[in-house]
Structure 1
Amino acid sequence: MEIKVLGTGCAGCRALHETVKQAVAELGLDATVVKEEDIMKIMSYNVMQLPALVVDGQVAAKGRKLSPAEVKELLAK
């Protein structure tokens, strides 16, 4: 599983990245977590609201920080 946190480095983006890493560890998932800050790569996902969460190439959430429970729910799908 590949998980990307899209964001330009703002506090919300950094917080989501930490929340995702925590959720992956708690769920024991075999996943790679990447923080993508390159605006051109972010735009390739057609995301205009940050932070955004991409799971296996699909945008799962955008425009808001997620709680650990929300991240776990998205990753469990």
Structure 2
Amino acid sequence: MDLSAADADIDVEASVRIVDGIGSFGAIEFSTLTAKDILTTKFINLQGGYDYYNEYGRIKGFSVRRSKMGRRTK
């Protein structure tokens, strides 16, 4: 799916889901999330975003990795 096409399908007035951590996951049914649901999710902090996508990946069958970007000094 082309992301620009997905962006065009999202209504500006669409309800935005705000996730602030694992405690707010109880109301989310990860197995039924659509691309629109994923694209309209906002996170309070990076840890909440990581936990959200980690749980989504676990349900959908893929893994999530958080890595550090570093600069090699030589």
Fold conserved (TM > 0.5)?
Answer: no
Highest RCO, 1 vs 2 (Cα 8 Å, sep ≥ 6): 1
Higher strand share: 1
TM-score (norm 1): 0.28
TM-score (norm 2): 0.29
Higher helix share: 2
